[in-house]
Structure formats: structure tokens, C-alpha cells
Amino acid sequence: MPRPIRAVIHLQSLEHNLSVIRQNIGAAKIWSVLKADAYGHGIHRVWRGLKNTDGFAVLDLHEAILLREEGWEGPILLLEGFFQQEDLQVIDQYQLTTSVHSHWQLTAIEQATLHQPLSVYIKLNSGMNRLGFTTEEYVSVVSKLQSMANVKNVTLMSHFANSDIPSGIDQPLQKIMQFDGLHLNTCIANSGAVLWHKNTHYDWVRAGIVLYGASPSGKWSDIEKYNLQAAMSLQSEIIAIHEIQAGESIGYGSKFTTTKPMHIATVACGYADGYPRHAPSGTPVWCNGMRCSLLGAVSMDMLTIDISDCPDAKLGSLVELWGQNIPVDDVAEAAGTIGYELLCALARRVPIDF
């Protein structure tokens, strides 16, 4: 028997979340973001759950090639564009849309020998200072690209640093709107902007974390009302049960000491599976239909939970570390991170079931 841990991916939840997004964005089209192996969910299977999307956005060429080889004929966007000139041959061969954020990429496109002209997303740095052209140079970059024989059409692309905050997009949006007069197709909204800033939807949105049913702000309570569903359940089982007395300690570093007799259970899931080692005692865990608490330090392969109030829990009882009963955001918040990181960090040793 293999270790009982597994990540169960619910394709219907992905489909459902996509339709929730669609209801929120009017006539805009959706890039479904599949980078980081579909946020840890497994791009290979997940993309089929999202077939009703308008396009897929990825980071690496190999992700784009995988989608084409598996039969996706619609648009594919490379979110960070290409990393070297030779990549343009692959972009041409597989008919990918590329973003462009640096001057060397203009020269590379101009000099490339292509079978057909490209669709490009020209990245505007609207204040995040990570990628993109400045507002001062933007118009000249756009007209340079528009004049190239190797370019078919251009779209304005930008990215928000604070779309999870009510006033978080005001300044960047002002910078972006300076270019409304160019009448370019526009794509600026990430998940936070999809949910909370209708004035950012324009022609295309880029939806990542909301597809997977977690919160762009890191707080589950912020998305609870949208009826999104967790696409991943990380599940394991109880592999040992102990009754311990008051004054005993649990796990490495003896980080938790009982003040009363307790029923505790050992679960086959640890930080080598992607569960956060920093999760403190009290982090919620679902066991046998009840919310229980993590106790003591998370080990590499195991963790311990309090089943004192869960009398039916027994060897082999199902435990959900996160999923439809315990939002990944709640676990992440307890551990001082965000759901994005936990989903993406699911370890390769965890089998994925559909």
C-alpha cells in the first residue's frame, strides 16, 4: 500500500469557478492562468476542466507546447514573454501570443524570420516596478512594434501590485488610462481586479488564483460570498492514535505540552509533502467530518492533531489538510503565508487524483 496521502483535484470545481468569473466580467474574455503547473494542480489534466476559457496564460514554453500537443488550438499567452531570441522560433511554430517588456525584445522580434506575424502584449510598468516599459517611453514602443512586419496586433498589458485593496488600483489605473486614446485592446486585471475592480476588466482578464478557489487577498472571508469552490483537497489518513497525560509534549522541539489528558492522532502528511512547517498549534485540520487542531511541530512526513473532541476518529480516518472543508487560505494565514504558495508548493511526491 502506498502512503495514504493524495491531492484530489475537482475538475467540476474549476469549471464552476470559471463560470463564476465569467458572470463577474461582462463581455471581457478570460485568460486562465496555468503557470506553476496550474498552481500545483497539474496542468496536464487541469486544462481540460477549463476548456470553456478563451485562452490559457503560461510562463514557460514547455507549458505552451504541452497544451498544443494535447490539442488546445485556442490562444496561449506567455506572461513573461520570451527569455532569449531563439524562443521566437517556438513562439512562431506553436502560434503563441507573447508579452514584450524590454527593449532587447523589440530588436529580437524585428530581426526574427517568422512564418506569420505575432500578436504581442506590450507591458506597461504602471508602478509595480517589476516588468514593463515606462509611461514616458510607452507610446514610442507601441508605434515601433505596430510598424514591424513581424507584428500583427498589439495589446496593452499591465499588472497590479495591490488589486486586493479598495484603493489599490487608483494610481496604476490612472497611468494606464493615459493610453486609452491609443484604442488598444487592453488586458490588466488579475484575480483581485476581476473580483473587486470592475473598471479594470477591459477586453481580457487574467484569472489565476480564483480559478482554483482561493483568495487573491490571502483571506478566505474576502471571497466567501462568491461561492468559489476549492479545486484541490489535500487528503491523508490517521496512521496512529495515542492517549497522553497532562504534562506530556508532542513532536520535535516539544513545542506543545498538554495541560490535560488528550487524544491525539498522527497523520501521514508533513512538510516534505508541501504542508507548511511554520503552521502553529491550532491550525485547522478536518478529520472525520469535524474541524480539529494541529498540535506541535510539523515533521517532514507526519503531523499530529487533537482528536479529543472527535470520538469517532480512528486508524484510517480521512483527514483533509486543506480543500472544501478547510480553506487553504486559513492554513496559509496561520502559517504566515498565502494560499498561492501552499498550492504551488505541493510536493512532487504527493500523487494527484482526479
Q: From the annotation, which residues make up the binding site for substrate?
A: 130, 300
Cβ 322 vs Cβ 334: under 8 Å = no
Whats the size of the chain, residue-wise?
A: 354
Contact with ligand PLP (CB under 6 A): which of 33, 38, 156, 298? 33
Between 156 and 287, CB nearer to ligand PLP: 156
- Residue 209 engages ligand PLP in binding (rule: CB under 6 A): yes
- Residue 197 engages ligand PLP in binding (rule: CB under 6 A): no
Question: What gap in Å lies between CA 120 and CA 122, rounded to an integer?
Answer: 6
Contact region with ligand PLP (CB under 6 A), list: 14-22, 206-214, 250-258, 296-304 = 206-214
Between 10 and 123, CB nearer to ligand PLP: 123
Q: Residues comprising the binding site?
A: 130, 300
The H-assigned helical ranges of 28-180 are 35-39, 43-49, 61-69, 87-93, 103-111, 135-146, 170-177
Cell numbers representing residue 312 in the block: 469517532
Cβ 29 vs Cβ 18: under 8 Å = no
The DSSP 8-state label assigned to residue 280 in this structure reads P
Burial class (CB in 10 A: 0-12, 13-18, 19+), 290: middle
Contact region with ligand PLP (CB under 6 A), list: 10-18, 81-89, 201-209, 223-231 = 201-209
Q: Which helix (H) or strand (E) holds 304?
A: strand 303-306
Considering the complex, what minimum distance in angstroms separates the CB of residue 59 from ligand PLP? Answer: 7
User: Phi/psi of residue 65, each to 5°?
Assistant: -65, -40
Contact with ligand PLP (CB under 6 A): which of 22, 101, 159, 197? 159
- The catalytic residue among 152, 198, 252, 314 is 252
Contact with ligand PLP (CB under 6 A): which of 13, 98, 190, 236? 190
134 contact partners, CB below 8 Å, separation of at least 6: 125
Contact region with ligand PLP (CB under 6 A), list: 22-30, 64-72, 200-208, 236-244 = 200-208
Considering the complex, what minimum distance in angstroms separates the CB of residue 244 from ligand PLP? Answer: 42
Cell numbers representing residue 51 in the block: 476548456
Contact with ligand PLP (CB under 6 A): which of 207, 287, 350, 352? 207
- Residue 208 engages ligand PLP in binding (rule: CB under 6 A): yes
Binding letters toward ligand PLP, positions 211-250, x by CB under 6 A = -----x----------------------------------
- Residue 78 engages ligand PLP in binding (rule: CB under 6 A): no
Question: Judged by CB under 6 A, how many residues of this single chain contact ligand PLP?
Answer: 11
Cβ 262 vs Cβ 243: under 8 Å = yes
Between 188 and 269, CB nearer to ligand PLP: 188
Cβ 42 vs Cβ 352: under 8 Å = yes
Measure Cα distances from 67 to 50, 64, 74, 267 in Å.
12, 5, 10, 36
Between 38 and 88, CB nearer to ligand PLP: 38
| Closest by Cα among 221, 235, 192, 265 to 24 | 192
Look up 252 and say whether it is catalytic.
yes
Cβ 118 vs Cβ 100: under 8 Å = no
Considering the complex, what minimum distance in angstroms separates the CB of residue 198 from ligand PLP? Answer: 16
Considering the complex, what minimum distance in angstroms separates the CB of residue 258 from ligand PLP? Answer: 40
* Positions marked catalytic: 35, 252
Q: Which residues bind ligand PLP (CB under 6 A)?
A: 33, 35, 79, 159, 190-191, 206-209, 216
